[in-house]
Amino acid sequence: MYGIINKAIEELVISNFGKDKWEIILEKSGIEHSFFISNETYDDAITYQLAQTISQEMNMSIDDVMIAFGEWWVVKTTRDKYSGLMQTGGSNLKQFLINLPVFHNRIMLHYPKLTPPEFKISHIEERNLCLHYFSKREGLQEFVRGLIQGLGIIYSAETKIELLKSRSDGSDHEIFKISW
């Protein structure tokens, strides 16, 4: 993953719990990096280790950590660093979700080594749709849930997210039903 992901995790922890807590988490994680460069790539294991250490140190489930990070990513990181890119996604939650399958194509212009997930949309109705999430990476479905919640916050749309299918249940991808 790109360093911007790990930097965002750092910013989330510092913003909510302070610099001292981040230093403790970094030390307990055993990660040898004291800082991350946004446009450099890092082993995915580093990101997973940070999330696991935050889970243990903050006495939170790993799912809660991933949801919080997904929300933070959308509400804070993308809004601060990529607001122009976010605006191209649509003027409301439904438009953004419908445009999500092509969103990473634009991001890859900034991060050419990106290995993005794939999204597909189905069952589009007035107040809900199904989001299909395909990824080579395991364990990120709750991060995606957090991203969706963050989009709901940005677009002032109260969202309900239901996981219909999951790889942990034998499916080849996750399917979320998103209502607003």
pLDDT value of residue 148: 97
- Highest mean pLDDT: which of 87-91, 116-120, 138-142, 172-176? 172-176
Note the pLDDT of residue 176.
98
Q: Pick the residue with more confidence: 123 or 113?
A: 123
173 pLDDT above the threshold of 90: yes
Please give the pLDDT value at position 30: 96
- In sequence order, the 6+-apart residues with CB closer than 8 A to the CB of 14 are 21, 22
Read off the pLDDT of each residue in 30-57 and give the average, rounded to a whole number: 93
